[in-house]
Amino acid sequence: MTDSTLPDNNIHNQFDNKAKAWSARFNEPVSDLVKRYTASVNFDKRLAKFDIQGSLAHAEMLTHVGVISQEDLQQIQTGMATIIQEIEASTFEWSLDLEDVHLNIEKRLVELIGDAGKRLHTGRSRNDQVATDMRLWLREEIDTAIKLVKELRRALAKVALENHDVILPGFTHLQVAQPVTFGHHLLAYAEMFGRDAERLEDCRRRVNRSPLGAAALAGTSYPIDRERTANSLDFEAVCHNSLDAVSDRDFAIEFCAVSSMIMMHISRLSEELIIWMSPRFGFIQLADRFCTGSSIMPQKKNPDVPELARGKTGRVYGHLTALLTLMKAQPLAYNKDNQEDKEGLFDTADTLRDTLTIFVDMVGGITVKADNMRAAALQGFSTATDLADYLVKKGLPFRDAHEVVALAVRQCEDLGCDLADLDLAQLKDFDPRIEEDVFDVLTLEGSVNARSHIGGTAPARVKAEAERILSE
């Protein structure tokens, strides 16, 4: 067959004449709007580095099994090295006509090296290609997130160690409950971020599997070696079903779920920082670099960073919901819907990375106002439970002790004083078993020191826990 025997508008593929890769099949081009609507290059070009990694592994494998020649491989490697340089130097020309990162890179490769570039796509499809790129990209993001979550855990443990004996009121229902140490309170968040690091590590295992070789959906008739590409890309395993490999986005959903959980923890911490920084509490101060003023009220110093983190939590939850919804009714195997997985996932990773990075710094720079914390703990009868426990130890059943202390609290409220302000005679009126040693338990120190068991709020315990975390 010679060129002259073929209709001139459909013999060439895009790599020769700028038409689409599948143009031989079509009679008319897409409109500009449809082109914009279907293109992903504006956002998926951030996968370029991973797309090239995947292509190089695929080409090396094709050479190894004898599908393409050693010379082809060398040319592909040289061409890709040039493309990497061009992308890094921002001289690479991204084209909307070429739809996505994969076609843009392949087209440039063909421009640079000719036929060897056209052989690269043997035995694969953009469907397994994009799934591979996403997993390689996400694996790196997860590693960064694990590092940052662990750093945040350490930053909290450091501040906890410095404040292992600073006492503040612990709250339930946002009402003063019992005294706790500030270090203990911070270590509660260290626990949350510790579990988050475990969740990320677990999620990474399922991200780190290779879809490459699944091709469009059914696998390929070339004698490919999937284990080889998986190994060279540092995947732990291969995906064992080609239909699943190209359509599975569980790994992305899982990452969004773990990110949502982390942001939920960040948002809870933010809420506390905001409350503690309010002048009504005055428990802490955040460094100025995390706050802004008001354009109209000169006295203001607003905790913008924790407020924004609380707000951005909603946006990360939104990405999780969007991805779950994206997948919910998709039949096997690949559908173009999946192109919509990227922007939300990218934004999740970016938001998580920025938030964690800022929080590591911000937590490290908290100024603790121990006097205000203590003053607050001295209000609100925070040692009432200790008085009840004292009476139980003297032989009163707990429910009766609870009632006795409730009466004492009521009298203190009438008198406008704290339990520890009553003298022994007044206390004895409530129960004759009360003696001088009651003042040991009515003090804040007595209360926290008594809780020295594992997980308790006693300063000695908190110090040991913080040191344990810092030695991890």
- By CB under 6 A, tell whether 339 contacts ligand ARG: yes
- By CB under 6 A, tell whether 40 contacts ligand ARG: yes
Beta carbon nearer to ligand ARG, 132 or 338: 338
Helices (H), ranges, 39-114: 41-44, 48-64, 70-88, 101-113
Beta carbon nearer to ligand ARG, 47 or 362: 47
- By CB under 6 A, tell whether 246 contacts ligand ARG: no
Give SS3 for 167.
strand
- By CB under 6 A, tell whether 127 contacts ligand ARG: yes
For the CB of residue 80, give the shortest distance to ligand ARG in the complex, in Å.
19
Which range of residues in 75-83, 192-200, 304-312, 330-338 is near ligand ARG by CB under 6 A? Answer: 330-338
Asked if 44 contacts 342 with a C-beta cutoff of 8 angstroms, the reply is: yes
Catalytic residue among 31, 173, 221, 471: 173
Q: Measure the CA–CA gap between 205 and 213, rounded to whole angstroms.
A: 19
Which range of residues in 7-15, 207-215, 232-240, 331-339 is near ligand ARG by CB under 6 A? Answer: 331-339
Q: Is 447 annotated in the active site?
A: no
* The only residue of 107, 108, 126, 135 in contact with ligand ARG, by rule CB under 6 A: 126
- By CB under 6 A, tell whether 214 contacts ligand ARG: no
- By CB under 6 A, tell whether 247 contacts ligand ARG: no
Beta carbon nearer to ligand ARG, 160 or 246: 246
| CA angle (35 as vertex; 32, 39 as ends), nearest 5 | 145
- By CB under 6 A, tell whether 338 contacts ligand ARG: yes
- By CB under 6 A, tell whether 100 contacts ligand ARG: yes
Q: How far is CA 174 from CA 178, 393, 436, in A?
A: 11, 29, 32
Which range of residues in 123-131, 135-143, 264-272, 355-363 is near ligand ARG by CB under 6 A? Answer: 123-131
For 301, counting Cβ atoms within 10 Å of its Cβ (0-12 exposed, 13-18 middle, 19+ buried), the class is middle
Exposure of 340 in the CB half-sphere (CA atoms within 13 A):
14
Buried b (16+ CB within 10 A) or exposed e, 329-362: eeeebbeeebbebbebbbbbbebbeebbebbbeb
Q: Measure the CA–CA gap between 335 and 310, rounded to whole angstroms.
A: 34
Dihedrals φ, ψ of 181, to 5°? -90, 150
Beta carbon nearer to ligand ARG, 128 or 431: 128
- By CB under 6 A, tell whether 369 contacts ligand ARG: no
Asked if 209 contacts 132 with a C-beta cutoff of 8 angstroms, the reply is: no
For the CB of residue 8, give the shortest distance to ligand ARG in the complex, in Å.
26
Q: Is 259 annotated in the active site?
A: no
Categorise residue 215: left if φ over 0, alpha if ψ from -120 to 50, beta otherwise: left
* The only residue of 25, 336, 399, 453 in contact with ligand ARG, by rule CB under 6 A: 336
The residues carrying an active-site annotation are: 173, 294
The binding site for ligand ARG (CB under 6 A) comprises: 40, 44, 100, 126-127, 130, 334, 336, 338-339
